[in-house]
Structure 1
Amino acid sequence: MSTTTATATVPRSASHVWDVLVDHEGMSSWGPGITVTLQTEGAPDRNGLGAVRRITAPGPAPAIVEEVVAFEPTRTFGYRALGGVPFKNYGGTVTLTPQGASTRIDYAISLDERVPVVEKVAAAVVARVLLTALVRASKR
C-alpha cells in the first residue's frame, strides 16, 4: 500500500474546518457539477462512522461511493472507497492540527499500486485537488 500526503494551513479553527469536512452534502459546493448524497447515516453522528456517501460528477464516470471509517471530531476523518474509483484499496485520511488561530490540514490518499509510477502520480494529484477544494471551502 502506498500513501501520498498533501498539506496546507488555513486561517480557520479546527472546528470550522471539521464542520466543512464532514458535511457530506455540503461537498456539492466544492466543485462544479459535483453532487454528494448521504446513502447511509453513520452513528452516533449521521456523518460519522459507517456513513456512506455517493459522489457524482458530470460526464460518463461512475459515481464514487465511500464509507466513513475514522471519525474523531476536530482531529481525524477517514474514508474508503466502496466503488467507482479505478484504484485498488483506495482511501483517504484527513488530519487536522490546530496551529494558533489556524489549522494545518494533512490530506493523505492511500491505495495499492498496480502500476506504481502512474498510480503514485495520480494519488498525489488527487490528494492535492481534494486538499485545494477543502481549503477553498474552509475559507468561506
Structure 2
Amino acid sequence: MRSTAVRTVAAPPDQVWGVLADHEGMRTWVPGLRVAVTRPGTSETGGVGTVRKVGFGIAGPIVEEVVAFEPGRRLGYRALAGVPLKDYRGEVVLSPAGAGTEIRYTVEAEQRLPFGEALLVRGLAAGLLSGLVRGVRAGGVR
C-alpha cells in the first residue's frame, strides 16, 4: 500500500532540501520528536547509509536508514526497527514549481490488515508532509 501527499511551498528547492536533509533538525518541524543520527552516511553527511533513531517521549525509537539521497531533489528511507508496519519506506521528492517547490511525500508498507494500516500510511504521509511544510515556513532553524 502506498500514499502520496503533495503540497507546494513558496520556497526554492535548496531551502526545502536544507530542512529535509537536516535529520536532527526534524524536531523543529514535528513537535515533541526526538531524532539522533547514530551512523553517518557512507559518502556524505546525512546521505545513503545514514541511520537515525526517531521517537516521541518514551515511545520509540523507530530506526531508519537513508537509502536514497539526491541533494536538492530526493530523499528516501526505510525502517529497520520500531515500526508496526511491515517494510515501511518513505520518499520525499522535490520539484521546482514556479518560484516555489512541489513536495511529494510518499509512504509505503506491505499491507497485512484490511483497514487500519492503510489509514495509518495515509495519515503518516499527510502528517509528515505538513510537518515538513511547517519547518520550511519557519526557516528550518534549530
Q: Same fold (TM over 0.5)?
A: yes
Determine if the alignment matches structure 1 residue 128 to structure 2 residue 122. no
Q: How does 1:55-66 map to 2 (within 5 A)?
A: 55-59=54-58, 61-66=59-64
Alignment match, 1:8: 7
Aligned pairs for 1:1-140 (under 5 A) are: 2-59=1-58, 61-140=59-138
Query: For 1:46-86, what per-residue CA distance to the aligned partner results, in whole angstroms no more than 9, with x for missing partners?
Result: 10000001112124x22011000001111110000011110
Contact 2:26/2:35 (<8 A) preserved: yes
- Which segments of 5 or more consecutive residues in structure 2 lack a partner in the other structure? none
Post-superposition CA distance 1:85-106 (Å, at most 9, x none): 1000001000001012100000
Q: Distance in 2 between matches of 1:33 and 1:102?
A: 28
Say how many residue pairs are matched: 138
Aligned residues with identical type, % of pairs: 45
The alignment's C-alpha RMSD in Å is 0.9
1: CA distance between counterparts of 2:55 and 2:111?
24
Contact 2:54 2:60 survives alignment (8 Å): no
Residue 32 of structure 1 deviates from its aligned partner by 2.3
Q: What secondary structure sits across from 2:84 in the alignment?
A: coil
CA deviation after TM superposition for structure 1 residue 30, in Å = 1.6
Corresponding residue SS for 2:115: helix
Give, in whole Å, the separation in 2 of the partners of 1:14 and 1:74.
Answer: 6
> 1:122 deviation in Å?
0.8
Structure 1 length-normalised TM: 0.95
Task: Tell me how far apart the structure 1 counterparts of residues 10 and 42 of structure 2 sit (CA, whole Å).
Answer: 30
In the alignment, residue 5 of structure 1 is paired with which amino acid? T
- How far apart are the structure 2 equivalents of 1:13 and 1:56? 29
